[in-house]
């Protein structure tokens, strides 16, 4: 089997994630310690003992999810399973940073600080209440793009996450997104759900955040990853550091082409996808994109042991 390691994005966070890994594996604990030091605060305490509302804040959720993914990766490595056992890495939105850190392209310290900056910049790009996102279920990407364009009426409304064949998330100005959600049923969608998010991610409204990230990414070292990254905005493999840097900037306003990314990996022979970190959202998407693919979740010591046992 050809394997890919995939890393979850925002929405997968939960209080207590990664704690068992940190207790069972010193290398996993060291990840949380490094993230705490990088941010100058005990993010690990918030992750394990804090309030869900505070963890859900974008500036906290992003580095927290990365820390949990990297802790899971270190636990796998402690059991002899390496990043180079995979043909590719990929991540959903912020998960792309986790993927790059797992593959050695970014240090954990730089990654944590970038994600704190990214979270704040994305939150501050649009005043609270002015932007929105909605999941459109039962329509493909082309139908949703047409729907978003029709509902925009001169405002920003665009397909933001092409998650799988039957789930596309739209993002933009609140009134336009609400119009699109109302129109979706008429266009044949099964459901249209407004999402409980604090900003219109992956839309043109994030342009101020892209400028912040361009500056921040320009100050960190990015190495060639140990295995190629399948990037969100290109849906194909990339290894060249300057190209990765440019794609991370583009990703702030660009769509997450997850369906195409998984299909591309499947087309290269990948048939085994390991979701490393919190939650199981990506595994469900993978199954809907590539029915023949096997999936595995790595979020607890029991998961790591099962992976080691084969």
Cβ pair 289, 164 in contact under 8 A: yes
Residue with structure tokens 């993914």?
69
Contact by Cβ (8 Å): 193, 242: no
Which one-letter DSSP state was computed for residue 163? E
- Give the residue among 91, 106, 99 at the shortest CA–CA distance from 10: 91
Spatial CA neighbour of 111 closest among 52, 68, 56: 68
Identify whether 92 is a catalytic site residue: no
The residue from 44, 198, 202, 283 that is catalytic is: 202
- Asked if residue 255 lies in contact with residue 238, where contact means CB atoms within 8 angstroms, the answer is no
Residue 93 falls in the annotated catalytic set: yes
Burial (0-12, 13-18, 19+ Cβ within 10 Å), 35? buried
Among residues 44, 93, 234, 261, the one annotated as catalytic is 93
Placement of tokens 């580095």 in the chain: 63
Catalytic sites, residue numbers? 93, 202
């Amino acid at each position: 089997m050809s394997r890919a390691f995939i890393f979850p994005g925002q929405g997968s966070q939960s209080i207590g994630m990664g704690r068992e890994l940190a207790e069972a594996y010193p290398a996993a604990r060291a990840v949380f310690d490094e993230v705490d030091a990088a941010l100058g605060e005990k993010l690990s305490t918030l992750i394990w003992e804090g309030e869900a509302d505070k963890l859900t804040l974008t500036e906290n959720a992003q580095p927290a999810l990365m820390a949990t993914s990297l802790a899971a990766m270190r636990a796998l490595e402690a059991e002899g399973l390496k990043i180079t056992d995979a043909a590719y890495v990929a991540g959903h939105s912020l998960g792309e940073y986790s993927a790059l850190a797992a593959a050695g392209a970014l240090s954990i310290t730089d990654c944590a600080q970038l994600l704190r900056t990214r979270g704040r910049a994305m939150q501050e790009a649009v005043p609270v209440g002015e932007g929105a996102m909605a999941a459109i279920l039962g329509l493909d990407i082309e139908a949703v793009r047409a729907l978003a364009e029709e509902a925009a009426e001169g405002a920003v409304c665009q397909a933001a996450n092409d998650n799988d064949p039957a789930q596309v998330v739209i993002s933009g100005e609140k009134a336009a997104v609400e119009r699109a959600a109302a129109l979706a049923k008429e266009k044949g969608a099964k459901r249209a759900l407004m999402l409980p998010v604090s900003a219109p991610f992956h839309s043109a409204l994030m342009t101020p955040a892209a400028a912040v990230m361009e500056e921040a990414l320009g100050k960190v070292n990015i190495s060639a990853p140990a295995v190629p990254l399948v990037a969100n905005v290109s849906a194909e493999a990339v290894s060249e550091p300057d190209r990765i840097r440019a794609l991370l900037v583009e990703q702030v306003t660009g769509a997450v082409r997850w369906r195409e990314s998984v299909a591309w990996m499947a087309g290269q022979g990948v048939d085994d996808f390991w979701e490393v970190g919190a939650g199981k959202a990506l595994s469900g998407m993978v199954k809907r994109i590539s029915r023949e693919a096997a999936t595995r979740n790595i979020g607890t010591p029991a998961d790591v042991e099962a992976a080691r046992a084969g």
